[in-house]
Structure 1
Amino acid sequence: MSKPPLTPLLDTVPTPDKLRALPAAALRQVADELRAETIDAVSVTGGHLGAGLGVVELTVALHYVFDTPRDRLIWDVGHQAYPHKILTGRRDRIRTLRQPGGLSGFTKRDESDYDPFGTAHSSTSISAGLGMAVASDLSSDDNRVVAVIGDGSMSAGMAYEAMNNAGALGARLIVILNDNDMAIAPPTGAMSAYLARLVSSRTFLSLRDFGKQLARRLPKFMEIGAKRAEEFARGLAMGGTLFEELGFYYVGPIDGHNLDHLLPVLKNVRDAGHGPILVHVVTQKGKGYAPAEAAADKYHGVAKFDVITGKQAKPKANAPAYTRVFADSLIQHAAADDKVVAITAAMPSGTGLDQFGALFPDRTFDVGIAEQHAVTFAAGMATEGYKPFCAIYSTFLQRGYDQVVHDVALQKLPVRFPIDRAGLVGADGATHAGSFDLAFLGCLPHFVIMAPADEAELMHMVATSIAIDDRPSAFRFPRGEGVGVDLPLEGRPLEIGRGRIVREGSKIAILSLGTRLKAAIEAAETLDGYGLSTTVADARFMKPLDHDLIARLAREHEVLITIEEGSVGGFGSHVLQYLAEIGALDRGLKIRPMVLPDVFIDHGAPEAMYKAAGLDAAGIVRTAFAALGRAEALADASGLRA
């Protein structure tokens, strides 16, 4: 185990006000020590590393130049904010990142005054920053607002909507484009840095504004010519025409790891008193840590690792991951059907579609961070007879909901939605939990909605969705490993709207949707030990419901418990609606829907989170005892939580 790094200068700057008291010449050492501290901290906890290493110098420069937290600093997504957290009074807790009760892996408003806006989904920073800037103007305040956004996040339409609005309003907003991959225009050393300092200076800004005012007083044909000449000249020097057309003053590109370049430019834009300004900063993801620089993903997300070797401590899987099972199954079907295509919104590896793309590059489409576009793009392909699988995490599918409703469901187009990261996701916490898809999809006409109990069932649901050619379908599955069942050679289409009985009983029925089935079976075995004969059923489908199965369970049992990995308004609500319609509730049936609690659940280990939510085997047992009024048994069962 490596020793913690020596950080004598960083030790003296627990907060940005202390940083601003240092001479500029000392900032290089602060940055080097901050990078070492970030690497060491993430080696203990795991988390997002590469993005944070890429913005170490930028983080130091921003807190040095701007009066944070009075000046608002917003990090888009927030996975690059670990160095920011170290500098803003949270260093003593940095080794609790993403741990139960510890620091969030993203920025969070109730964690620090230095986090003015909570993030975790991308491309929101410019909109939020514009709102803050306009509010500041309305209040006659003079604080600055800075939004740092990566080039990947700039692939989302929301970023351009915000920039278009900011340009029209002429708001005092500074956007830092952190270009760590796309390299819109590479920096050209000292000359580029000199030009960036020059064009960001108050003199140049004033001169340019004077030129614009003069051009407006010229005859129309001369005004147009002058404007084009100025744009052409600026384009030759540094690019940025797109941002200029959106109403931003463009500065850059500049080297994001050179403090001598960063500091004067940031000071200039801070003092400009101008409308919206975009500073184009080029950085290297994983900068300063050789294993990260050498890795294909630049150590974007890592498990605990050895600082010296970079080797990650990833446990050996006991069963294949659901994501891998989905990808392998889709590949198998695509080999036999050239109409099968795959679409992802900037998450090819997370959804398993990188494997699909390696074999079928012409049938794989990564549309960038643009979930709305991904959904309607899939709808367009479906109109032409293709079989699109639009693979989006549950938490991100929320961003394309209008398109799911209007462009897919309303038109009954057979778009298939593999929904990864369903339910609680562990260390990423509430922002990434797949809590709501059952509720927001279940209310839509025409949808077929499935949830596999294990990895073999997932294979069957891939096959089922391919066979559904007259309406949209979705199947949701969790992050992580399967339960270890034997896998079939290939998936087979299931009968639509038909569940299955897993074990027979007579007094209590547990109806599970999704991977809580294992907990349901464990609970049934415990209940049998108390003399409470228990049936367990796997619903398979939330929509359409298996009415025959539900009616039978209600008719033949005293208690019916439904359980799902989702919020209120999902599967259990649909079951209750049906039972009310057939009058089953009038006959004394005790029904208990078990769902995620009506709160946003912070990060932790997934099984511990389900236990705390009461959705484990012990929680099911307690629910059954409470429904029967078995107080003595309930007291006995209280120890089941331990």
Structure 2
Amino acid sequence: MHIEPGSLLKTINSPEDLKKVPREQLHQVCDELRQYIIDVVSVHGGHFAASLGVVELSVALHYAYNTPYDQLVWDVGHQAYGHKILTGRRDAFPSNRKYKGLSGFPKRSESEYDTFGVGHSSTSISAALGMAMAAKYKGETDRKAVAVIGDGSMTAGMAFEAMNHAGVADSDVLIILNDNCMSIDPNVGALKAYLTDISTSHTYNKLRDDVWKILGKLPIGKRFTREMASKLEAGIKGMVNKSSNLFEALNLRYFGPIDGHNITKLVDTLKDLRDIPGPKLLHIVTVKGKGYALAEKDQTKWHAPGLFDKITGEIYKKKFDTPQPPKYQDVFGHTIIELAEHNKKIFGITPAMPSGSSLKFMMEKMPDRAFDVGICEQHAVTVSAGMATQGMRVFCNIYSSFMQRAFDQVVHDVAIQKLPVVLCLDRAGLVGEDGPTHHGAYDIPYFRCIPNMVISAPMNEQELRNLMYTAQLESTELPFVIRYPRGEGMLSDWRKPFEEITIGKGRKLRDGKDVAILSFGHPGNFAAAAIRELRGEGITPAHFDMRFAKPLDEELLHEALTNYERIVTVEDGTVVGGFGSAILEFMQQHGYKNEVRILGIPDRLVEHGTLKELHHECGYDAAAIAAEVRSLTTSNMAEAI
């Protein structure tokens, strides 16, 4: 389906083309850009509300700044669709997040306008500051660096670390704080209240605007005007709204708040700020989902709604004739409530993902025992550890890819102290259209190398429930990792009585001949499908669901390695240092010489696509497993001859 851009937008293939548009027509560009995003995302899918909220900012930045020479860094990148469309990728935009198409996030290899690859939050200020420091060193005094960061991303410690440095680095960097009171879910914490205080202080804002209007009419030099304005601003901030001194206390000149949807005001402000040297922060107030009423009303739902009817707002859902299994994250969300109703020591913690992780159910039902701590993975782990020292059983739910940010806390604050924190890794393995910044590829190796860790993965929803049940028992005394994939449910009848699983014990699902498949976690279902296909061909591999990558079930491994000459391991994680590597290490320690094939995520960056496409590309879907077993069986027959 071809989607036609508006009459002005179709003429814009670069920021240079945008600059040719008369200033008074920029509002039309914004209207057409917003409509084009709505048209494309409704048909092709993708993130939605965030980019609608920064349409005017996207236009204003490329209009006022000399991109790509001036460096523009978008935090996370959910909101960069307008930026992509304005920078030569308009016609390719329908391929966004599709296999072999445009990335859903800024990506350096995709465009010179994407100055920094992003996908995780709160990195933009550090990156832009680094660019500004380099420009200063090289003598590029006319080169500017701009970081666009949301108020949700600003809650992360890294953003404060970067501002703390920016205030003393004496580099020309502009931080644009896009304040819409949202990340994916509504923002939480003291910073939210602080920004609300700034943006709603009518007395402060009126005085500040009046000062600028008066000084702008005075017949004095522009520089002197700014100096006077700066002094008067400081006085106003001190007298009227003391809390507004936070950014100033970090030596960042604070401007704002201003309406982030007033394109004329934005352009004028950005052009003025481009001429002001040093570190500075512009606070803009926007509405996530701006221009699409339903998205403005329910911003969490419309963050990434999937395909929808842009007229009626109906979000298309697949229709099935039979009941469908729930997503793993929903099983987690309902199961933790069941467990908490019987165990008063259970708490839930998540860093800004209550909807994605489904901890929202517990937050609604038990608000005193489930908490969203903001985009603060490191804090989430250590606060969980602190609660564990007092006998609490904390389920700390963090996406696998985001858990990488809290590795040090897991080592020092959890593992060394042997605290029984339950680390639930949602989105483990390949995640699909979000691509390499979000794939949960590395958690098995980076946890497996830490002493005192239990690392588990369920093959289905019932196994997830039982692992959660086991993890909260008083007899479980070590940090307990449970990793499970995005969505991908298997069982419709999943809510069954809990059963304790012995830590480090797997299960044999099928006996066989010649070849044994050792699976870890959800890919065991791919193995089961492959076995069903192979048995129709007279090939009968055995199947062992190992459940634990650490500790390994040594008894089960001895059985498999003794009885089957050829082994295939399957995991939804990197083959380097992962579950398959653990099997090879075990074999080396015990002198086994079996032939082993390791299937999983290869040692390269895997781009975006559907899960089906990516599992096939990486060679561990059912077809690939079956092919590997056939290959081993054929080689075995050839050797016998």
Provide TM-score, normalisation by structure 2: 0.91
Does the CA contact (< 8 Å) of 1:196 and 1:254 recur in 2?
A: no
How far residue 116 of structure 1 moved from its aligned partner, in angstroms, is 0.3
Runs of 5+ in structure 2 lacking a partner?
A: 182-191, 217-221
Deviations 1:131-153 (A, max 9, x none): 10000011111210010000000
Structure 2 Cα separation of the partners of residues 581 and 463 of structure 1: 32
Structure 2 Cα separation of the partners of residues 232 and 195 of structure 1: 10
Structure 2 Cα separation of the partners of residues 477 and 523 of structure 1: 21
Percent identity over paired residues: 46
**Cα distance, 1:113–1:631 mapped onto 2, change above 3 Å:** farther
**Cα distance, 1:462–1:199 mapped onto 2, change above 3 Å:** farther
Structure 2 Cα separation of the partners of residues 10 and 563 of structure 1: 48
The one-letter amino acid of 2:617's match is A
Structure 1 Cα separation of the partners of residues 485 and 209 of structure 2: 47
Task: Provide the residue aligned with 1:206 in structure 2.
Answer: 227
How far residue 23 of structure 1 moved from its aligned partner, in angstroms, is 1.8
Aligned counterpart for 1:300 among listed residues 277, 298, 303: 303
Structure 2 Cα separation of the partners of residues 80 and 488 of structure 1: 38
How far residue 331 of structure 1 moved from its aligned partner, in angstroms, is 0.6
Does the CA contact (< 8 Å) of 2:459 and 2:547 recur in 1?
A: yes
Q: Report the aligned-residue RMSD.
A: 2.2
Aligned counterpart for 1:505 among listed residues 508, 512, 516: 512
Deviations 1:279-325 (A, max 9, x none): 00000111111111122526111101111111111224721111111
Aligned counterpart for 2:599 among listed residues 594, 598, 602: 594
Structure 2 Cα separation of the partners of residues 50 and 235 of structure 1: 37
Does the CA contact (< 8 Å) of 1:551 and 1:579 recur in 2?
A: no
Aligned counterpart for 1:480 among listed residues 484, 487, 490: 487
Aligned counterpart for 2:448 among listed residues 438, 442, 453: 442
SS in 1 for 2:87: helix
Aligned counterpart for 1:247 among listed residues 244, 248, 251: 251
Does the CA contact (< 8 Å) of 2:207 and 2:236 recur in 1?
A: no
How far residue 571 of structure 1 moved from its aligned partner, in angstroms, is 0.9
Task: Provide the residue aligned with 1:282 in structure 2.
Answer: 285
The one-letter amino acid of 1:134's match is M
The one-letter amino acid of 2:150's match is G
Q: Does 1:353 align with 2:353?
A: no
Task: Provide the residue aligned with 1:492 in structure 2.
Answer: 499
Task: Provide the residue aligned with 1:62 in structure 2.
Answer: 61
Deviations 1:38-68 (A, max 9, x none): 1111111211111111101111111110011
Does the CA contact (< 8 Å) of 2:215 and 2:229 recur in 1?
A: no
Task: Provide the residue aligned with 2:617 in structure 1.
Answer: 612
Task: Provide the residue aligned with 2:427 in structure 1.
Answer: 421
SS in 1 for 2:445: helix
**Cα distance, 1:348–1:196 mapped onto 2, change above 3 Å:** farther
Task: Provide the residue aligned with 1:222 in structure 2.
Answer: none
How far residue 171 of structure 1 moved from its aligned partner, in angstroms, is 1.1
Does the CA contact (< 8 Å) of 1:291 and 1:309 recur in 2?
A: no
The one-letter amino acid of 1:452's match is P
Task: Provide the residue aligned with 2:262 in structure 1.
Answer: 258
How far residue 357 of structure 1 moved from its aligned partner, in angstroms, is 0.5
Structure 2 Cα separation of the partners of residues 349 and 147 of structure 1: 27
Aligned residues: 611
**Cα distance, 1:484–1:546 mapped onto 2, change above 3 Å:** same
How far residue 628 of structure 1 moved from its aligned partner, in angstroms, is 4.6
Q: Does 1:571 align with 2:571?
A: no
SS in 2 for 1:482: coil
Q: Does 1:150 align with 2:146?
A: no
Deviations 1:521-562 (A, max 9, x none): 222233334443311110011111000001100000121111
Aligned counterpart for 2:395 among listed residues 386, 389, 396: 389
Task: Provide the residue aligned with 1:311 in structure 2.
Answer: 314
The one-letter amino acid of 1:399's match is R
Does the CA contact (< 8 Å) of 1:196 and 1:253 recur in 2?
A: no
Structure 1 Cα separation of the partners of residues 215 and 527 of structure 2: 66
Does the CA contact (< 8 Å) of 1:146 and 1:176 recur in 2?
A: yes
Structure 2 Cα separation of the partners of residues 151 and 356 of structure 1: 25
Q: Does 1:551 align with 2:561?
A: no
Deviations 1:453-498 (A, max 9, x none): 0111111111011125411001011011311253243322201111
The one-letter amino acid of 1:601's match is V
Structure 1 Cα separation of the partners of residues 429 and 215 of structure 2: 50
Does the CA contact (< 8 Å) of 2:108 and 2:116 recur in 1?
A: yes
Q: Does 1:24 align with 2:23?
A: yes
Does the CA contact (< 8 Å) of 1:329 and 1:491 recur in 2?
A: no
Structure 2 Cα separation of the partners of residues 50 and 437 of structure 1: 30
**Cα distance, 1:121–1:235 mapped onto 2, change above 3 Å:** farther
Structure 2 Cα separation of the partners of residues 395 and 544 of structure 1: 23
Provide TM-score, normalisation by structure 1: 0.91
**Cα distance, 1:475–1:67 mapped onto 2, change above 3 Å:** same
Structure 2 Cα separation of the partners of residues 489 and 258 of structure 1: 55
Q: Does 1:462 align with 2:468?
A: yes
**Cα distance, 1:325–1:316 mapped onto 2, change above 3 Å:** farther
344-353 vs 518-527, greater mean Cα deviation: 518-527
Task: Provide the residue aligned with 1:639 in structure 2.
Answer: none
How far residue 452 of structure 1 moved from its aligned partner, in angstroms, is 0.4
Structure 2 Cα separation of the partners of residues 197 and 112 of structure 1: 40
Does the CA contact (< 8 Å) of 2:288 and 2:299 recur in 1?
A: no
Does the CA contact (< 8 Å) of 2:423 and 2:480 recur in 1?
A: yes
How far residue 502 of structure 1 moved from its aligned partner, in angstroms, is 0.7
Q: Does 1:11 align with 2:16?
A: no
Task: Provide the residue aligned with 1:270 in structure 2.
Answer: 274
Task: Provide the residue aligned with 1:638 in structure 2.
Answer: none
Structure 2 Cα separation of the partners of residues 529 and 298 of structure 1: 45
Aligned counterpart for 1:399 among listed residues 386, 399, 405: 405
Deviations 1:54-113 (A, max 9, x none): 101111111110011111111100000011111110000111111111111111111111
Does the CA contact (< 8 Å) of 1:197 and 1:264 recur in 2?
A: no
Task: Provide the residue aligned with 1:99 in structure 2.
Answer: 98
Structure 1 Cα separation of the partners of residues 308 and 223 of structure 2: 47
SS in 1 for 2:113: coil
SS in 1 for 2:356: coil
How far residue 192 of structure 1 moved from its aligned partner, in angstroms, is 5.7
SS in 1 for 2:27: helix
How far residue 632 of structure 1 moved from its aligned partner, in angstroms, is 10
SS in 2 for 1:349: helix
385-394 vs 230-239, greater mean Cα deviation: 230-239
Deviations 1:487-519 (A, max 9, x none): 243322201111111111121100100111121
Does the CA contact (< 8 Å) of 1:73 and 1:115 recur in 2?
A: yes
Structure 1 Cα separation of the partners of residues 239 and 431 of structure 2: 45
Does the CA contact (< 8 Å) of 1:523 and 1:617 recur in 2?
A: yes
The one-letter amino acid of 2:8's match is L
**Cα distance, 1:195–1:505 mapped onto 2, change above 3 Å:** farther
Task: Provide the residue aligned with 1:636 in structure 2.
Answer: none
Deviations 1:13-36 (A, max 9, x none): 221111112221110111111111
Task: Provide the residue aligned with 1:335 in structure 2.
Answer: 341
Task: Provide the residue aligned with 1:323 in structure 2.
Answer: 329
**Cα distance, 1:251–1:21 mapped onto 2, change above 3 Å:** same
Structure 2 Cα separation of the partners of residues 473 and 451 of structure 1: 11
Aligned counterpart for 1:562 among listed residues 552, 559, 569: 569
